[in-house]
Every structure is written in C-alpha cells, then in structure tokens.
Chain A
Amino acid sequence: MNQEFSNENILNEAFNNFFPLDNVRNLSNIRKLTLDPVVGYFTNRFPVEFLHALGFHPSRMVSDGTEDHGAKDEYIQTFSCSWLTSIFESHLRDKINYDALVFSTGTCDSLQNMSDIWIKALPDTKAYHFAFPVRTSGNLTNQYFNNELVSISKQICESLEIAYNYDQLPNSVKLFNKKRLLIQKVYEKLIDYQIPYNLLFKLLIIADLTTVEYSIQLFEAFLSDIDKAKYPLREKTSVKIAVIGSMFDNIGLFEKIPILNNSVVVDDLSYGTRNNFFIIEETNNPDDQLDLLVSAYLNKVPDSTIYDMSRRAEHLVNIVNNFKVKGVIMLLQKWCDPEGFEFVELQKKLKNINIPFTVIDVDSSLSNLGQLQTRVEAFIEMVGED
C-alpha cells in the first residue's frame, strides 16, 4: 500500500471515529483498540504509565461540548467548572461505562466536590479518589504521592480482579516517552509549517483517550505527512499566536474561527504542552522507575491547581520565545477559579516581555461563539498590524 495513502487513511479514520466527541460516549471505539479495562481519569497529573503497566487502559475524560440540558441541576449548582459539568451532564444522559473512574481530589474545589456528587448521582460508578499533593517539592511530597498512587492502584486492581504487578512499568514509561517526543516534534513543525492547529489538537485529545500504541502510530503518520510537505511553509509575515488556559478541550473554537486555527503555533493547555512537554527518566528497575515517574509528575509544568506557579510562568515565557509568538489568547474557562487567579500573574509576565494578550471567557459548549469570533479576529488583526 502506498505510504501516503496509508497515512491519510489512518488519520482520517481516527478523526472520523472520535469526532465529534459524542462518538466516544459508548467507548466502543476505544474498546476496539484494547481489551484492557478502561479507567477514566480527569487531570494530567495522573501518572497514566502506572495504570498502563498494571494492565489497564487509562483514558482521559473529555467534555464533548454537549449543551446544558439541565440533567445536572438536580445535583450541582451552576457555578461549578463548566468543563466538569459538561462531562457530568454527558454521563448523566448516556451512562458511559468506564470500568473505573479516578477522581483527582486535592485539586480544585469543583473537582473535589464533584467526586462526591458523581457517586451520589451515578452510584454504580466504581470511583476512586486520588488525593494529589498540592505541594510539589520535598521528600515527603514524593513519598506521599508514591504511596497514594500505589494505594489507589491496588484498590482498582482488587476491585477489577487484576494482579497488582508493575514489572512492566519501565516499558510503559518508554512507550509514553516515545509518544511525548513525537508530539513535541509536531509542535516544533508548527513554527515553520502552516499546519491547522485543530488537527494537532484533535490528535492530542485522541491520544489521551486511546492507547499509547495507537497514538504513536497516529503521530508518526502525522509527522510523515508534514515531512512530505503536505502542509505549506508558513509565510514569514504570518502572525504566530499562543492559546493558554486550563481544561479547555472544545475543538470547535479552532474549527469555527479559521484565522485562529491558522495562527496558533503553540499552547499552554492542560491537554496540550503541559501534558506533553516532559520526559520521564528511564530505568529497567520497576521500583526505581516508580520513583522517577513520581518525581517527573511532580516536577512537570503544573496546571493551575498546584502551588507554585513559577514553572508554569517560566513555561509560558519559554514557549512565547521559542515559538516566536506575537500575541497570546487566554481562554478563561467559566468558573475555573485556579486559572482565574493564575491569569493575573501570567498577564504580568506577558507585559514584562511586551507580548500583547487578550482574555476570553469560554464555556465548554462555546455558547458565546459569535462574540468570541469577533474578539479573536480583532485581536489577531491587531497583533498582525504591530
């Protein structure tokens, strides 16, 4: 088979199978790729490699942009994180059958409270509560994180009758490292090639939903396409934009605003660089690998729920410089408190390096798309004129 045809085929098949994201609801597309029990998780702080090594398929929760039909109102008020309530609303309507769900507690208040609300509303859920450390430094934090990971994983193994054995951890780490390296390479290509950002963003979401092996195939195919000059070189005068935010995952924002889709060269999003711009040190000893895994997760660029945002601020400045970004669009997810605080400081950092920015309020269903479009277009045009 012709390689070019094969790449296009595999990528198109992935896009068609997983988008729109409602397609994920019955998990059948995921289960076609793996026989392992599917464990849903919410935040990118969860060391997926460990679950993978134990014989589970970790699959990140995504909001499918579903409109609010009010199913959730019986359980939770409107002022909770819009990303989370969108996921909750989908599950209330369609009862998605994960084999287990791991909630991240000790993160933001919306997610912490939701972990309790969820099991009241959907009592059949096999739910586990991973109390993440909010501190990021010190031996005691590493030790606590390690113990909590082991404790929760043992509970899941026991419940799903899987032997608790993480001998495969070094191999799992290698696989996920390979995936992240491929993703990093794709980002590097964005600087020079006019690659529509929505394609990368879709692949990032698919990568979090599906198996690591399949993700590697997808990113290799994508890179191969880029190398074969499928996408034109970026014009020297084109405006390079970064988007930043918390759990934003609605592809529609990019697809419906073409100028944004063609201008974004990098992001600081939970599903984007913050999830993929780190590599775990490798070793063949499973116990040592566990320690290295925990350290890597504690030291990676954090989401805003974590104490000490200096690494996040440093990451933002780095991507702005490395990707030659001329303007930043800050996506403030409705009712995302941690990001609301963090944006104030991030704005100061951007001012210090003379990078213009705009803050845009978004919700998971993009209910204000028309207004967003006007603002985004005006901002990119303004940046382009400077």
Chain B
Amino acid sequence: MEKKKAYRRLESDTDVKNFMAMYYLNSKNPYLSDEGIKLAWVTSGAPVEYLIAADVIPLYPENYGAIAGAAKDSTRLCIAAENCGYSSDLCSYARTSFGSILSPDPPTPLSEIDGTGGLAKPDMLICGNNICGTVLKWYQDVSRIYDIPMFLFDTPPLRSDYIPPHYRSYVEEQLVEYIQFIEMVTKNTIPPENIDNALHASFKSIELWSEILEKGKISPAPLNCADRFLAMAPIVCQRGSSEIIPLYETLLEEVNTRIDQGLGAITGEEKYRLLWDNIPIWFNIYSFFNTLASRGAVFPVDTYTNAWGGSLKKSAIDYNDHIKTMAQIYSSIYLNQTLQSKIDLIGSLAVDFNCTGVIYHSQRSCKRYSLGQPITKKEVLEKTGIPGILIDGDMTDSRNFSEEQTWTRIEALLEIIDQT
C-alpha cells in the first residue's frame, strides 16, 4: 500500500517553477545584447521597480544561493570560494556566488532547462544595504571581478516607524541618482508611465502576496513554510512586473479552494502550529518540513516571506510621488529596523496566526537576521507565553548544520508544547 504523504503539494507550484525557469532562460538569451537589453544583479531589498520600468532584467544572487542550496550544491561552491581566499566565516550566499563565478567547475543550473548554470553575467550591480552590510562588500567584489558599475543604495537603519527628515532626503536623493544611473547604463530615458506601471504591478502583487499570507491564520493552514519559500521567488525577483500577478491570483485561488474544502497544507491533524524565523535551511528544506509535517507540525507563518508583504502600508503609497513612496518603503524593510520591532512583529504574528511555538533559525551566515535571537525568544515568551527554540544552522552551507542536535532541540520544543 502506498504510504500517505504528510504534505499536500500545491498545483500552482508548477506554474511558479515554470515561470522562474523561463525567466532565467530568458536572461541568457543571446539576442538580449543585440537588442540592447541590460542585466542587473540586485539585492533583495533594492528598489527593483525602476529596473523593470527600464526593461532591465534583474537577477538575484541571493535567489541563486537558494537554488544552489536546494540542489544541495552550494557547499561545493562555498568551498570553491574559500579556495579563492574567502573566509569560511562569511555569508554562504556570498560564498556560493563567488564559487559560481570563480570556480572552474560548472555552476549549479538555475532550472531543469538551464544548460549553462549560474546567473548570466550582469551589466550593472544594484546593492541596497537595507537587508545587511554584507551585500555591500559582496557586490563591491563582484563589481571588481566583472569590472562593471555598481549603484549603492544606502538606507540608514531606522530606530522607529518615524523616518527623520535628513534620512528621508538622503534616501530620496539617492533614488533620483539611481534612476540617472540606470539611464546612464541603458543609455535610455525611463518613460514615466513605465515607472507608474511598475509601481502599480509591484503593489498589486504585494497586495496579493499579503492576502495569501494572511490566509495562514485559518486552521488548517492552507500553506506550509516550504510552499511559501518556493512561491516567493517571483515577488522577490520580478516585483514590478505585471507578469507575476496571474501567478499570485492562481495561488490565491488555490489557497481559497483549500480553505473552502477544509484542506490544510499537511494531510494529518494540525497538532502544532509553529512560526519560523529567518531564512530556511535550503539544503534540506523539503525533508525538514516534511518530517515535521509527519509529526503534525505546520508553519502557518514565517518572518522571511512576510518581509515581502506584511510591512507594506497602503497609506504609504503615493502614485504621484514615487520617490517619496519608494524611500518610505525601502527604508522600512524588516531588516532595516530595530530588534524591538522584530520582537514586536514575531510576537504579534505568533498570536495572530495562533501559533503554539517558534523555531528561530540561528544562522551564522546572516548576522543581521540572527544576532539577538536569544533576546527575541525570551521576550516573545514573556509577552505571549509562546515558547521557542534556537536551532543552529546555515541557509546553504551544510557543514554548519547538525541534524542530530537540531532534532533534539525540536523534540524538546514539541514536548514543551505538549505539556501546555
């Protein structure tokens, strides 16, 4: 008899996978250069909408790290980077990226239809330090390796929701420079209507994404962590493109159907509703969440995918002043805020999504995300009564992950939840 799967697969997964495969394939189309279309490598917190408006194809080394991680190939690339002088203490996304650029061995393919592997070589780099300080040095090195221009988008970290006037003008003036930079590299002026369209598409897709995430409040939760981590790729990589809107409409439809039919992301009883904090462990993403699913644990919410939706305040959008709007949004990115704001968010998400526990992925590759989690765990418990555990790991370097230690800690959390 066939063993019943603990995990219900999303049909719209296939659409997302196909979309991403075509997007990456298109980025390697040899006709792009003939048509003057430029490629940019972009950090996940950079204002990609202006690139979309300029018909530039944005590519995400962070997403490449995730792909290589999920393919269990990133450790090989990290080692290759270390052999080129990069310390093993550095971010494993960055090492994966350097490994793919510098290693004589073939890089990880981007999809089943990608023959060459690795990201296409960029014409420019766009680096926003609102997600971490590491990207600054990472992109600086890529800029030197490829000898291409880089735009640094510097967003001072916020102390509260309030953005001081001098922060605001600093960021707004950089956005003006950013547009000029893109126009200089592409040798084309960006039509204002393109910017308007990109902003509308961006906010529409963010709105859809937020609505999808909100559905996690329902029990049984229609989506699990791995579903969201896979589905987030288009909104990270093509935010501002109208092409991704149908993908999220379809996903929302499927989520609603599940809700109507009372079907959850996991097939068994939801015994534990857990919140996931931080980037996933890409190299064992499916086995990790499936194993937990078989124990009746579902993750209706996480902080990582929420970063591309939950923080957007509609009141911040002013289509007549895109510079002001984008300065507000990109300054307020989750990782550009205080530890207190993270504690508050995790506490409120855990309560709103009816979670019974929190797993904090303490991962050495992302200091900005991770450092301070012991305090978060303590304060969330004090504030909400919801217990949590820290598991040590890494998003893509499997050498920094202990399976046995991780499961021992998770068992301890489940036991605590059982007793409450």
Digitize B145-160: 1 where CB-to-A-CB distance is under 8 Å, 0 elsewhere.
Answer: 0000000101011010
Asked whether A345 and B144 contact (CB < 8 A) given A113-B368, A334-B89, the answer is: yes
For the complex, give the distance between the alpha carbons of A113 and B134 in Å: 13
- Are A77 and B370 in touch, CB under 8 angstroms? yes
Task: Determine whether A365 belongs to the interface, using a CB cutoff of 8 Å to chain B.
Answer: no
For the complex, give the distance between the alpha carbons of A125 and B84 in Å: 43
Chain A binding surface, main DSSP class: helix
Most buried by B among A109, A147, A305: A109
Asked whether A337 and B89 contact (CB < 8 A) given A131-B157, A134-B154, the answer is: yes
Residues 72-116 of A contacting B (Cβ, < 8 Å): 73-77, 79-80, 105-110, 112-114, 116
For the complex, give the distance between the alpha carbons of A151 and B169 in Å: 15
- Are A337 and B372 in touch, CB under 8 angstroms? no
Task: Determine whether B252 belongs to the interface, using a CB cutoff of 8 Å to chain A.
Answer: no
Q: Which residues of B contact A77 (CB under 8 A)?
A: 362, 364, 370-371, 373-374, 390
Task: Determine whether A283 belongs to the interface, using a CB cutoff of 8 Å to chain B.
Answer: no
Task: Determine whether B410 belongs to the interface, using a CB cutoff of 8 Å to chain A.
Answer: no
- Are A109 and B157 in touch, CB under 8 angstroms? no
For the complex, give the distance between the alpha carbons of A332 and B152 in Å: 26
For the complex, give the distance between the alpha carbons of A252 and B138 in Å: 32
- Are A109 and B368 in touch, CB under 8 angstroms? yes
For the side of the interface on B, what is the size category? Answer: 35 or more
Shortest distance from the beta carbon of B388 to any chain A beta carbon, whole Å: 14
Contact of A106 among B154, B169, B362 (CB under 8 A): B154
Q: Which residues of B contact A75 (CB under 8 A)?
A: 372, 374-375
Residues 113-141 of B contacting A (Cβ, < 8 Å): 129, 132-134, 136-138, 140-141
- Are B159 and A129 in touch, CB under 8 angstroms? yes
Task: Determine whether B367 belongs to the interface, using a CB cutoff of 8 Å to chain A.
Answer: yes
Asked whether A340 and B173 contact (CB < 8 A) given A113-B368, A133-B154, the answer is: no
For the complex, give the distance between the alpha carbons of A173 and B152 in Å: 31
Contact of B173 among A120, A131, A134, A140 (CB under 8 A): A140
Task: Determine whether A307 belongs to the interface, using a CB cutoff of 8 Å to chain B.
Answer: yes
- Are B129 and A337 in touch, CB under 8 angstroms? no
- Are B339 and A120 in touch, CB under 8 angstroms? yes
Q: Which residues of A contact B91 (CB under 8 A)?
A: 337
Task: Determine whether B167 belongs to the interface, using a CB cutoff of 8 Å to chain A.
Answer: yes
Task: Determine whether B181 belongs to the interface, using a CB cutoff of 8 Å to chain A.
Answer: no
Q: Which residues of B contact A134 (CB under 8 A)?
A: 129, 133, 136, 152, 154
Digitize A343-377: 1 where CB-to-B-CB distance is under 8 Å, 0 elsewhere.
Answer: 11101000000000000000000000000000000
Digitize B66-102: 1 where CB-to-A-CB distance is under 8 Å, 0 elsewhere.
Answer: 0000000000000000001111011100100000000
Most buried by B among A79, A342, A347: A79
- Are B86 and A131 in touch, CB under 8 angstroms? no
Shortest distance from the beta carbon of B394 to any chain A beta carbon, whole Å: 10
For the side of the interface on A, what is the size category? Answer: 35 or more
Q: Which residues of A contact B156 (CB under 8 A)?
A: 105-106, 131, 133, 144, 148
Shortest distance from the beta carbon of B271 to any chain A beta carbon, whole Å: 30
Q: Which residues of B contact A343 (CB under 8 A)?
A: 85, 87
- Are B375 and A120 in touch, CB under 8 angstroms? yes
Asked whether A140 and B174 contact (CB < 8 A) given A75-B374, A347-B85, the answer is: yes
Task: Determine whether A335 belongs to the interface, using a CB cutoff of 8 Å to chain B.
Answer: yes
- Are B85 and A344 in touch, CB under 8 angstroms? yes
Q: Which residues of A contact B378 (CB under 8 A)?
A: 74
Asked whether A135 and B152 contact (CB < 8 A) given A117-B372, A140-B170, the answer is: yes
For the complex, give the distance between the alpha carbons of A110 and B85 in Å: 22
Contact of A109 among B152, B166, B169, B367 (CB under 8 A): B367
Q: Which residues of B contact A79 (CB under 8 A)?
A: 89, 364, 367, 370-371
Digitize A131-156: 1 where CB-to-B-CB distance is under 8 Å, 0 elsewhere.
Answer: 10111001011011001100100000
Task: Determine whether A295 belongs to the interface, using a CB cutoff of 8 Å to chain B.
Answer: no
Residues 363-385 of B contacting A (Cβ, < 8 Å): 364, 367-368, 370-375, 378
Asked whether A341 and B375 contact (CB < 8 A) given A109-B133, A112-B368, A131-B156, the answer is: no
Shortest distance from the beta carbon of A216 to any chain B beta carbon, whole Å: 34
- Are A109 and B134 in touch, CB under 8 angstroms? yes
Contact of B374 among A74, A112, A138, A344 (CB under 8 A): A74
Task: Determine whether B192 belongs to the interface, using a CB cutoff of 8 Å to chain A.
Answer: no
Q: Which residues of A contact B85 (CB under 8 A)?
A: 343-344, 347
Task: Determine whether B191 belongs to the interface, using a CB cutoff of 8 Å to chain A.
Answer: no
Shortest distance from the beta carbon of B177 to any chain A beta carbon, whole Å: 8
Residues 299-355 of B contacting A (Cβ, < 8 Å): 338-340
Task: Determine whether B164 belongs to the interface, using a CB cutoff of 8 Å to chain A.
Answer: yes
- Are A341 and B90 in touch, CB under 8 angstroms? yes
Q: Which residues of A contact B370 (CB under 8 A)?
A: 77, 79
Nearest residue (CB) in B for A114 is B371
- Are B86 and A341 in touch, CB under 8 angstroms? yes
For the complex, give the distance between the alpha carbons of A217 and B281 in Å: 56
Task: Determine whether A47 belongs to the interface, using a CB cutoff of 8 Å to chain B.
Answer: no
- Are B371 and A117 in touch, CB under 8 angstroms? yes
For the complex, give the distance between the alpha carbons of A344 and B140 in Å: 12
For the complex, give the distance between the alpha carbons of A126 and B196 in Å: 45
- Are A151 and B166 in touch, CB under 8 angstroms? yes
Nearest residue (CB) in B for A308 is B140
Q: Which residues of A contact B367 (CB under 8 A)?
A: 79-80, 109-110, 113, 337
Task: Determine whether A259 belongs to the interface, using a CB cutoff of 8 Å to chain B.
Answer: no
Shortest distance from the beta carbon of B65 to any chain A beta carbon, whole Å: 16
Digitize A319-343: 1 where CB-to-B-CB distance is under 8 Å, 0 elsewhere.
Answer: 0000000000000101101101111
Shortest distance from the beta carbon of B103 to any chain A beta carbon, whole Å: 15
- Are B86 and A344 in touch, CB under 8 angstroms? yes
Q: Which residues of A contact B170 (CB under 8 A)?
A: 133, 140-141, 143-144
Q: Which residues of A contact B86 (CB under 8 A)?
A: 340-341, 344
For the complex, give the distance between the alpha carbons of A109 and B90 in Å: 12
Q: Which residues of B contact A309 (CB under 8 A)?
A: 140
Task: Determine whether A304 belongs to the interface, using a CB cutoff of 8 Å to chain B.
Answer: yes
- Are B375 and A117 in touch, CB under 8 angstroms? yes
Asked whether A116 and B90 contact (CB < 8 A) given A76-B371, A108-B133, the answer is: no
- Are B340 and A116 in touch, CB under 8 angstroms? yes
* 22 examples of A-B residue contacts, CB within 8 angstroms: A73-B374, A74-B374, A76-B372, A77-B374, A79-B371, A105-B156, A106-B133, A106-B154, A106-B156, A109-B132, A109-B133, A113-B371, A116-B338, A120-B339, A120-B375, A129-B159, A135-B152, A144-B166, A147-B166, A337-B137, A340-B87, A340-B89
Residue ranges of A at the interface with B (Cβ–Cβ < 8 Å): 73-77, 79-80, 105-110, 112-114, 116-117, 120-121, 129, 131, 133-135, 138, 140-141, 143-144, 147-148, 151, 304-305, 307-309, 332, 334-335, 337-338, 340-345, 347
Residue ranges of B at the interface with A (Cβ–Cβ < 8 Å): 84-87, 89-91, 94, 129, 132-134, 136-138, 140-141, 144, 152, 154, 156-157, 159, 164, 166-167, 169-170, 173-174, 177, 338-340, 362, 364, 367-368, 370-375, 378, 390
| Known contacts A79-B371, A116-B340, A304-B137, then 7 further A-B pairs from the complex at CB < 8 Å, ordered by chain A residue | A75-B374, A77-B390, A79-B370, A109-B367, A140-B169, A305-B133, A334-B89
* Across the A-B interface, the 8 shortest Cβ-Cβ residue pairs: A341-B137, A116-B339, A131-B156, A147-B166, A113-B371, A109-B367, A144-B170, A79-B364
